[in-house]
Every structure is written in structure tokens, then in C-alpha cells.
Structure 1
Amino acid sequence: FTVVKAAVLAWPVLPFSAIRITAAGILVLGWALMRGSNVRMARRDLLAAALFGVIGQGIYQLLWAGAFGTINAGTSALLIAVTPFLTAILASLLRIDPLKPAVAVGGIIAFAGVVAVALGEGAGAFGGETAGVLMTLAAAVCWAVYLLAGARVIPRVGAIAWTAWSMIFGGAALFIIAIADGQFVGLAAPPPAAIFGLVFSTLGSSSLANVLYFTAVPIVGVSRVASFQLLVPFLAVVVSAAVLSEALEPIQAFGGALILLGIWAGRQTSLPFRRRLR
């Protein structure tokens, strides 16, 4: 979050995102081929990777990275943290997976946290901060839809093939939009901050992180791996405060605590905070 914000404030969002996502997809695809993995996909699965890659890797990047002009990196991380609950709600509406009571309670708590974070950013003043909050929440919806589509396709094609092809298609869509908008015409050479952001986010968060994640899942289990994602909001706040001199308002810190409490509540096997009545 912090690196991408610093990069897109120094270089246009579209070219940065197009290069990063496409390069990451090619790297993941190359890594899979080096391992001898089968990355071929049936036509219907390839079409799904193209459609939802544009949504989850393309439109998501436009909304998420584009919001950094009016939203803090730490706040962005806190808002994106509600994605698991958006996924659960959409899965229930689409009858993919029933909504468990614990998840519903956790989702309500987390949503209250989102409201607190939004208020701290000035949402309600109908200014730039409001747009940034709404864009980030819309990005979270795009990512939730992308995860749900992946849950249907990955059992047939594998996680690595799905991730690689969806990133390539999503990056290609970003390239088309950037070229049509003329953003590559007369584009200045990327400054050091953008170059570092491209290298770090392409090799790190987009490529290596995905490979490590999907490699760790069969070793220690998806629930244990997913639990480490709860560190992202805290780390983003700490890093952005140290590097970008950002600071959360007290109400935002309270909202972040509510989001994490909601995440914890939603992971319980039974309804949390329930008292046995006699």
C-alpha cells in the first residue's frame, strides 16, 4: 500500500498499474512453466480468467491505486480488510455458500469500523476524501467478485494458472485503456520512486507474494495462511506513518480496531459473544 501510493503520486496510475500487473502475470506464468506446471485452460475457463481478470486485476487497480490521491495508505488497507465479508455476503446472495451467523455478526462489526474510518477521512463532506473512500470500497467489491470466480475455476485449472492468466488479461485491459487515453504519449521517464514501486510491487506483492501464498496453502492450510493477512492493515499503518508521515485520526484507529474485531468474530466456528441462558 505504501510503496504503490508513493509510486502513483510520482507517476500516472494507468501506466504504472498496466506495467506492474502484466509483468507480474508473465513472471508467475514463467515460474509455473519452469516448475513444469500445466497452465493450459479450457476455453470457458480462459474466458472466465479474461472477464474476471479485467474486473479483479484491471478495474480493481484503477479504483484502488487511483484513490491514493485522496486517501491515506493505512486507511486504504483498513477498508480493503472488509473484502472477506463482502465475499461472504456475495457468496450467500449467489447461493454459493450460506452466510453463517458468526460471519454476519463479524460483518456488521467490520462495517461499523468502515464507517468510522470513512468519517475520519472526511466522508460526508462530499469532497475528494469521500471519492477516495467510495473508490476503495468499490475496489474491494471487485476483488471479492474476482475471488468468488476463482473459487469456481481454480479446482479445475489450479491457483497458479488462474492467477497468472487473470493478471495478464487484467494488465492487457489496463494497457488498452492507457493507450486509448494517450497516457503513454509523451510520458516522462519514471522517477526513482516510481521505478522502485514498479520493481518492488511487481516482484514482491504481485508475483512473489502470490507464489508464496499458494505454495503455503497446501502445507499449513488455507485458514492459517489467510490469518496472516490480518497483519496487512497494521503493517500498512506503521509503514505509511514512518515513510509517508501519515497518521490516523483517533476515530480511524477505533474503526481499524472494529474491523479487526469483526474479522476475528467472523472466523469463529459459532456465534461469538453468545451467552448461555438458563
Structure 2
Amino acid sequence: MTETELHLPPPRAWVGPLLLLAGGVFIGLAPIGLRLGLDHLGPQAIAFWRYVFAIPLLFILLVAIERRMPARINGYVVLAGTFFALDIALWHWGLTLTTVANATFIVNLGNVCVGFIAWLFLKEKPKPIWFAAVLVAVIGAAALSLGGEPGGKSDIRGDVLAIGAAIMVSGYMLCSKLARNRLGAMDVIFWLTVVEAVVAGFMVIISGESFMPPTLAGFAAPAFLALAAQIGGQGLIIAGLGRTPAAIAGIIVLIQPVVAAAISWQLFDESLTAIQGGGAALILFGIWMSQRRPRRRPTTPESKPLQDAVRNAQ
């Protein structure tokens, strides 16, 4: 075995993080789809149709891939779906009052906090490098959010709603992790979406919004969100949670505000300053730090006899 081979991560060790990273990129498109759909539907109705459009597609995918009907739903899925639907409801309201980057940053603080919650409840103690990665990523996220030019569209009411969404997203990540430990990824994402559609329907009624857009063109944004954010984004994140510690997952999905801010720069004229660009770079660096693994010391001729003796003794 060469020294290079000794430094390689365990087989499939990167599958979970890569799934989470791809899911975070797709979820980063969610605020873009919301902004583009607000001319036709309210924020809660957009969320409702996002889930409704995704349900039949997820059912077809589950049956085609697993060759069976969905497994029985459990309580963790119900809790996770409720938390996520409330997170999206508060986040959608917040996005109508503050900038995309600001709302996304605050919500994603909940993803970081889930690492501490998992440590407390799931006994998933993070490695020391995780704390440094969190610090770097949060500083970067703060710079991305708060480093814009003054006089923007930020509103304290939107920030408060985003804080509530951050609390919900922590509960969602924790319960999704528990659900994923008991069910397959396809079962979890399917039942999550069903629960989310039910909760979102109540949110539309409570908010007084109309379920139907004035024209069929109003369904374009929810359909886009169903494919990109719900099936692509949330589906990949659920799959990645089954292969990745919750603490690491919370940092990886911080790619969301980077994607959202970069696209918003072009679509909504929310230009990025040098500070915000540096913040985006820090987030990416924090994600990279969270994935670092300790280097294994190569086996030397002098140490090999001792290692063989220990192995034989075991």
C-alpha cells in the first residue's frame, strides 16, 4: 500500500457530503422561485403547490426505484414535515420583507445549531475541527448577509420571521435524521412532502391567501420549486443525512445562501459587495474544513513488526 492510498478517505465516505452539497445548491434556488412567483400567488400558496406538485412525482419515483409501496409513516416523519412546513411558511413571509441573502443567512443559523442539538440528544459529538469550521462558516454567512450596501430592502419584521424559521429548521434537521435512521430516503422524502402539503394547506387558509392563481402561468413557479427545491434539494439532503453526521450536514447546507445571493445579484439587483464576496468564500472554506480528516501516518518498516504483533494478539 502506498502512502497516497493511506491518505484516501474510507470508501463512500464522500457520498453523503456530496449529496448534501448538491441538495444545498438546489435548495438555494428556492428563494429565487418564490420571488418569481409572487406576482401570481401568495407565499403560502406557492409553498402549498410546491408540495402538491411534488407528491405524485415522488410516489412514481419511489415505486419505480424501490419496486414497492411506501413504507409506513412514523412519528419522526410527521414532526419533521411539520417543522419544515412551518419553516418554509415563516421563511416565505420573511422573504417578502427582507433581502434574499439576509433571510437565508438567518434561517441557516438553524442548520448550524442542529450540530449542538445532535450532540445533546443524539450523542453525536463533533470533532474539534467542526467548531473551527462552524466559526468560519458563520462569520462568512454574516458577512454575506450584513456586508451589503446600506439602504437595502432589509426589514426587522422579516428578520424576526427568519429567526422563527431558523428554530423550525433545527427541529426539521434533527427529526429528519431520526426518521432517516429508521426509513429509507425515498420513504422519508415522500411522507415528508405529504405532511408538508397538509400543514401548508392550513397555512394558506390562516393567511387568507387564494389557493388558485389568476392564470395557469401562476403555477410555473411552484412547479419549478417542486422539481428543484423539493425533489432535488430536499430529496438529496434527506439522502445525505442518512450517511453524514448532523453536525457536518448543518455546515454543508450553508452553501444555500451562497447560491441564493449569487443568483439574486443577477435577477433582483441585490449586488454583492467585496465583503459579501469574502463572506461567500469563507462559507466555502468552512464547508471544506468540516470535511477534513486526520492524516493517517504511513506504516514504516520499523513499525510494521510491532503492528503485526498487535494484530495477531487481537
TM-score class, shorter-chain normalisation, is 0.7 to 0.9
Letter in 2 for 1:51: L
> What are the superposed Cα offsets for residues 201-243 of structure 1, whole Å, 9 maximum, x if unpaired?
112321244556777999xx769xx798676444433322222
Q: What CA distance in whole angstroms lies between the structure 1 residues aligned with 2:288 and 2:125?
A: 19
Picking from 215, 219, 224, the partner of 1:195 is: 219
Q: Which residue of 2 aligns with 1:164?
A: 190
Picking from 63, 66, 80, the partner of 1:52 is: 80
Comparing 252-261 with 195-204, greater Cα deviation is found at 252-261
Letter in 2 for 1:158: G
Q: Which residue of 2 aligns with 1:40?
A: 71
Q: What CA distance in whole angstroms lies between the structure 2 residues aligned with 1:244 and 1:104?
A: 34
1:21 to 1:68, Cα distance in 2 relative to 1, 3 A: same
1:136 to 1:250, Cα distance in 2 relative to 1, 3 A: farther
1:134 to 1:151, Cα distance in 2 relative to 1, 3 A: same
1:269 to 1:132, Cα distance in 2 relative to 1, 3 A: farther
**Where does 1:177-196 land on structure 2 (aligned, <5 Å)?**
177-184=203-210, 188-189=213-214, 192=217, 194-196=218-220
Aligned sequence identity (%): 18
Gapped regions of structure 2 (runs ≥ 5): 1-30, 296-314
* Pairing 1:12–2:45 present: no
**Aligned-residue offset at 1:98:** 0.6
Q: What CA distance in whole angstroms lies between the structure 2 residues aligned with 1:91 and 1:33?
A: 32
**Aligned-residue offset at 1:10:** 4.5
Q: What CA distance in whole angstroms lies between the structure 2 residues aligned with 1:166 and 1:159?
A: 10
* Pairing 1:3–2:33 present: yes
When the two structures are superposed, what TM-score results if normalisation uses the length of structure 1? 0.76
Q: Which residue of 2 aligns with 1:260?
A: 284
> What are the superposed Cα offsets for residues 119-147 of structure 1, whole Å, 9 maximum, x if unpaired?
33699x9x953333443354344233222
Q: What CA distance in whole angstroms lies between the structure 2 residues aligned with 1:128 and 1:236?
A: 16
Q: What CA distance in whole angstroms lies between the structure 1 residues aligned with 2:51 and 2:244?
A: 24
Equivalent residues of 1:63, 1:139 under 8 A apart: yes
* Pairing 1:242–2:273 present: no
Q: RMSD value over aligned CA atoms?
A: 3.5
**Where does 1:102-181 land on structure 2 (aligned, <5 Å)?**
102-120=129-147, 128-181=154-207
Comparing 155-164 with 2-11, greater Cα deviation is found at 2-11
Letter in 1 for 2:273: E
Comparing 154-163 with 68-77, greater Cα deviation is found at 68-77
Equivalent residues of 1:55, 1:146 under 8 A apart: yes
Aligned residues, how many? 259
Equivalent residues of 1:88, 1:103 under 8 A apart: no
Q: What CA distance in whole angstroms lies between the structure 2 residues aligned with 1:233 and 1:128?
A: 15
**Aligned-residue offset at 1:32:** 0.9
Gapped regions of structure 1 (runs ≥ 5): 272-278
When the two structures are superposed, what TM-score results if normalisation uses the length of structure 2? 0.68
The structure that has the greater radius of gyration is 2
Picking from 6, 21, 24, the partner of 2:54 is: 24
